[in-house]
Amino acid sequence: MTSSAVNGKTLPTLHLLNKPPSHPRFRDCLGAVANEDSLLLMESAVIALPDATLALPANTRALRHDCLARGLDEDTQEDVELIDIRGMVELTDRFPRVVSW
């Protein structure tokens, strides 16, 4: 899956990823995220944050409560913004296309 096009225009996509890094869909998702897309790590996917070997896209965010529930603190990865449920709702409203992995 990649960003889709409507009338020749690429639609930015919000990718919601809840699979751990060991799941095949985790890598599939990372491969599908385009430059104009955003990735939201949630549930088991947040355990990827401390793994320096994973190249996460520039526009990656993670759900704060999922990080805290898994013992990850706010400083786990500096370049990933931690957001709350309200932030997730705002993201889904901002993107014309949402894909759950």
Rounded CA gap, 90 and 87, in Å?
A: 5
Residue-level pLDDT, tens digit, the chain, 101 residues: 455 565 667 899 999 999 999 999 999 999 999 999 999 999 999 999 998 888 899 999 999 999 999 999 877 777 899 999 999 999 999 999 999 99
Q: How many CA atoms lie within 13 A of 94 on its CB side?
A: 12
Please give the backbone phi and psi of residue 10, each rounded to the nearest 5 degrees, phi first. -80, 130
Q: Model pTM greater than 0.75?
A: yes
Domain ranges of the chain: 5-100
**What would the CATH number be for the domain defined by 5-100?**
3.40.1260.10
| Rg (alpha carbons) of the chain, rounded to whole number | 13
Look up residue 69 and give its amino acid: A
